[in-house]
Amino acid sequence: MLESTSYTPEEVAQKLKISKYTVYELIKRGDLAAYRVGRKVRVEDKDIEAYIQKSKGASMTTDVFTYPVLEHSSESVRSPDVSISDTVVICGQDIILDILTRHLLKQYPNIKFLRSYIGSIDGLLALYRGEANIATVHLWDSDADDYNLPYIRRLMPGHQTIVINLVYRQEGFYISRGNPKDITSWKDLIRPDVRFINRERGSGARVLLDEKLRIESIPHHLINGYYDEEMSHMAVASKVARGEADVGLGIEKAAMQVSGLDFIPLKTERYDLVMRQEDLNKPHFQALLAIIRSEAYRKEIKGLGGYDVSRMGEMMG
């Protein structure tokens, strides 16, 4: 029986044209299977291929949408029965939430801070249904030319919320280094020689795309790849880097983590944290606000690059 070839995270990063950090993030989220040999992490070639095929497939089963993956330390659960009475469920995908969770765990080691890696609209709906404590959003409303507040009012009817800014980010196109297809505008997406990779419905990037297509009267069915979806900025960026798409839409930070990409900024977006007003005075939520407004957290996020922290901690609504 032939043994399967295994790789270090560094070797996986080279194969997938992503950063070593991103490989560890994929392993932590359960997107890429791995195992340990002593203190070393190894990934088998069949699991790399499975990840690539899963990325190509784009579609997710219904239960993943209904019951988001929640993470605490190295353990993951996917269950509709998770109680949030003794936990804090934080929805969103950005790395700055992982850093926020790390700070919270230091102060409250006995509380389970769970991460749910879902998009903006799904996060707000989870908050509305009582399945999450915190949502993070970057949803542009073209009528108001404003971020987040119009969606929060529509998707959280009857609920008083606190909206706090985390960062401002650049949203734009991921393209191959040197921009070989000369992609510069939304209208370029309907060119027959351009392959697009989309985000899932409900994500902030998908909302921005669909709003821009509507405003510019661009029929979405003319976009080659409009129905091909990925579930994160990193997955979109990686697909473009591997040459499986010519362009995708996402945040600048992901382009900085994936080799072989250029980034075309299109819009400055506001990335906000949303919580119920009734939770505001609870000790661990007060700690969360204190961390967000601390100089240490601000400096750590600013040091990552790709984020504007000038209004971090400010109340937006």
For the chain, 317 residues long, give each residue's pLDDT as a single digit of tens. Answer: 445 688 888 888 888 877 676 787 788 767 788 877 766 788 988 888 888 877 655 333 323 333 334 443 333 333 333 344 468 999 999 999 999 999 999 988 888 899 898 999 999 999 999 999 999 999 999 999 999 999 999 999 999 999 999 999 999 999 999 999 999 999 999 999 999 999 999 999 999 999 999 999 999 999 999 999 999 999 999 999 999 999 999 999 999 999 999 999 999 999 999 999 999 999 989 999 999 999 999 999 999 999 999 999 999 97
Note the pLDDT of residue 316: 95
Note the pLDDT of residue 254: 94
Return the CATH number of the domain spanning residue range 62-166+271-304: 3.40.190.10
Note the pLDDT of residue 112: 87
Q: Angle CA(223)–CA(225)–CA(229) in degrees, nearest 5? A: 130
SS3 275: strand
DSSP state of 2: P
Note the pLDDT of residue 60: 35
Dihedral angle over CA of 308, 314, 316, 317, nearest 10? 160
Q: Which one is the CATH code of 170-268: 3.60.20.10, 3.30.200.20, 3.40.50.720, 3.40.190.10? A: 3.40.190.10
Identical fold for domains 62-166+271-304 and 170-268, yes or no, is yes
Assigned token pair, 32: 């890429």
Note the pLDDT of residue 3: 55
Note the pLDDT of residue 77: 32
Domain boundaries, the chain: 6-57, 62-166+271-304, 170-268
Note the pLDDT of residue 21: 64
Note the pLDDT of residue 5: 85
Q: What distance in Å separates the CA atoms of residue 198 and residue 181, rounded to the nearest whole number?
A: 18
Note the pLDDT of residue 78: 34
Q: What distance in Å separates the CA atoms of residue 71 and residue 47, rounded to the nearest whole number?
A: 21
DSSP 176-200: ETT-TT---SGGGGG-TT--EEEEP
Note the pLDDT of residue 181: 97
CA-based Rg of the chain, rounded to a whole angstrom?
A: 19
